[in-house]
Amino acid sequence: MSTIRTTAESPAAHTAETPTQTAIAQSARELFLVNGYAATSIRDVAAAAKVDPALVMRHFHSKDELFVRVIGFDEHFAPQLDDPVETIGRRLADYLIAPKHAELRRTLTILVRATDHEAVRVDLEGTMRRLLVDKLKNRLTGPDAAVRAWLVSAQLLGLMQSWDMVGGDNASASERRRVAALYGAAIQSLITPVG
């Protein structure tokens, strides 16, 4: 957990405006990433940002909205999707599994876990479509391009879920390579099917 760092370029810094809003957004992102959605209260966020709990509501309207505004991830998938189609699967798996992308993994894991709340579910669906599915769809040839792109995003979300459950971040470099090779091939089978 302590390896998670909220960088200066995190989405929180982009969407907030006043210093107070920025402080709330950063505190919220840190607490959500470490403790998850349910275990983070608005009062916790307010205390960490040293503001009144009601002020958090004034600026972000609800816990759902605060979470969605602050837990976004941006443009992480774009570079891999510009690869030659034959290698996109492996590149996506490599990227998601790389030690340096622990914060992205954590973000996706926390996001999936919060989908019990409809607003989060809608946001995650939209973000995955915008950042991954729509772009990937345009690179695909052959039938069912849209369905195949969706199934790739399903694979990625499933990997994040299980990766965290089995403590994947403790895996050795060689284990990571094997997972990347295996899961990359499984993704690739949707990008360039043999049938």
Partner DNA sequence: TTCATGTGTCAACGTTGTTGACCCGAAGTA
Partner DNA sequence: TACTTCGGGTCAACAACGTTGACACATGAA
Site residues for a second copy per CB under 8 A: 36-39, 112-117, 121, 124-125, 143-144, 147-148, 150-151, 153-159, 161-163, 165-166, 175, 178-179, 181-183, 185-187, 189-190, 193-195
Which x/- pattern, by CB under 7 A, does the window 52-91 give for DNA?
A: xxxxxxxx-xxxx---------------------------
Tokens 């992480």 belong to residue:
76
With beta carbons less than 8 A apart as the criterion, state whether 85 and 139 touch.
yes
Please identify, using beta-carbon distances, which residue of 51 and 191 lies nearer to DNA.
51
- Residue 114 binds what, of a second copy, DNA, none (CB under 5 to 8 Å, by partner type)? a second copy
Tell me the closest approach of the beta carbon of residue 81 to DNA, in angstroms.
Answer: 35
With beta carbons less than 8 A apart as the criterion, state whether 11 and 74 touch.
yes
Tell me the closest approach of the beta carbon of residue 113 to a second copy, in angstroms.
Answer: 4
Q: Which three-class secondary structure state does DSSP give residue 20?
A: helix
Query: 103: which 2 tokens?
Result: 């914060």
Q: Where are the alpha helices (DSSP H) in 2-77?
A: 11-15, 19-35, 42-49, 53-60, 63-70
Does position 49 interact with DNA (CB under 7 A)? The reply is no
Query: 151: which 2 tokens?
Result: 């199934």
- Distance between the two ends of the chain, CA-based, in angstroms? 43
Please identify, using beta-carbon distances, which residue of 4 and 23 lies nearer to a second copy.
4
Tell me the closest approach of the beta carbon of residue 29 to DNA, in angstroms.
Answer: 15
Q: Which of 169, 130, 148 is nearest to 89 (CA)?
A: 148
Please identify, using beta-carbon distances, which residue of 58 and 178 lies nearer to DNA.
58
Q: Applying CB under 7 A, which of residues 2, 18, 141, 174 lies at the interface with DNA?
A: 18
Please identify, using beta-carbon distances, which residue of 24 and 131 lies nearer to DNA.
24
Q: Is 50 left (phi over 0), alpha (psi -120 to 50) or beta?
A: left
Cβ of 16: how many Cβ atoms within 10 Å? 20
Please identify, using beta-carbon distances, which residue of 44 and 164 lies nearer to DNA.
44
* Binding footprint of DNA on the chain (CB under 7 A): 17-18, 20, 40-44, 51-59, 61-64
